[in-house]
Amino acid sequence: MTDLPSPEETPPPPPPPEPPPLNAQRGWKGRLALPLAALSCLLSALALVVALAGTAPPVTTAAHAATPPWAEMPRPEAPLAPDSARQLVAIELLMPQLQRAAPFPRAFAVAIALASGDAEATRLLMTLAAAAAEGAPTIRDLVASFGPAAEAAVLAELGFASDAGWLARRVAGTMRLGATMGAAGTPALAALRDAAAELAAGRAAAAEARLATLSGPTAEALAAWRGGLARRIAADAAATQLAALAIARAQESPR
């Protein structure tokens, strides 16, 4: 029987192999990563060339077919040109003033400056110069003040001054009353009667047409009152024309 070696006589196991140095590991990994990166870039470039030169995939083709051409697609409206915007501001600045009796010199000056690049807008605004400086009485104001003005006109036709006594005023009032009731009178009395009726109906231009037939002292006596009537007519006409111009300018495309 073979004798087994004693534990003291058993040789020790061989030591494990040492791992390669860390620098050596990094070196071969770095050398391998560089060719892989270059190969990846090459494959990406090749795929891009094929995509650009070849036929588009079915999904891409269907998407392009479903999308209308750019020229046929609805586009948002172009914004207003700066000049058009300034002209609209000028018009909108004055529109509220035209319904009032008070003067509006500052708003008028600003509107003229804003509309300086538009000859048509400037022409319309300039018709409001007198109303801006002196005001334009409303139709209600004109109706209320027409009685005393017409009385002064009748007094002038009779040869009296506007500060005549109560008797002369009574005669003038009686003559106007007779004209309104259909009594025969002078052409001036008929014109005053018709003008009063036109004013009561709100037709300022028609009232002015009636009063335009007056002449001599009668016309002179009504000159100041007719000045206010003329400013109201100008304000009303300008309001209508400026509103139409604002709509036209807003619909214009920038040049």
Q: What is the pLDDT of residues 116-139, one digit of tens each?
A: 888 999 999 999 999 999 999 999
Cβ neighbors of 236 (< 8 A, separation 6 or more) are: 98, 204
Q: For residue 54, which phi and psi values (nearest 5 degrees)?
A: -90, -170
Q: Which is more confidently placed, 253 or 153?
A: 153
Q: What is the mean pLDDT of residues 148-154?
A: 85
* pLDDT of 172: 56
Displacement of CA 160 from its chain's centroid (Å): 54
246 is written with which tokens? Answer: 């604002």
Predicted model pTM? 0.62
Q: What is the mean pLDDT of residues 203-225?
A: 92
What are 214-222's contacts with CB under 8 Å, separation 24+? 214/153, 214/188, 216/157, 217/156, 217/157, 217/159, 218/153, 218/154, 218/156, 218/157, 218/188, 219/153, 220/156, 221/149, 221/152, 221/153, 221/155, 221/156, 221/162, 222/149, 222/150, 222/152, 222/153
Buried b / exposed e across 146-166, counting CB within 10 Å, b at 16+? Answer: beebbbbbbbbbeebeeebee
The amino acid present at 77, given as its one-letter code, is: E
Share of residues in the chain with pLDDT > 90 (%): 36
Q: What is the pLDDT of residues 14-68, one digit of tens each?
A: 666 555 554 444 555 556 556 566 666 565 655 554 444 555 444 444 434 544 4
* pLDDT of 29: 53
Is the Cβ–Cβ distance between 88 and 246 less than 8 Å? Answer: yes
CA distances from residue 11 to 4, 7, 113 in whole angstroms, order as listed: 13, 9, 113
Chain position carrying tokens 């807003």 = 250
Q: Please name which of 167, 160, 156, 140 lies closest in space to residue 192, comparing C-alpha atoms.
A: 156
Is the Cβ–Cβ distance between 128 and 235 less than 8 Å? Answer: yes
Is the Cβ–Cβ distance between 151 and 172 less than 8 Å? Answer: yes
Q: Which is more confidently placed, 15 or 10?
A: 15
Q: How far apart are CA 121 and CA 239, in angstroms?
A: 12
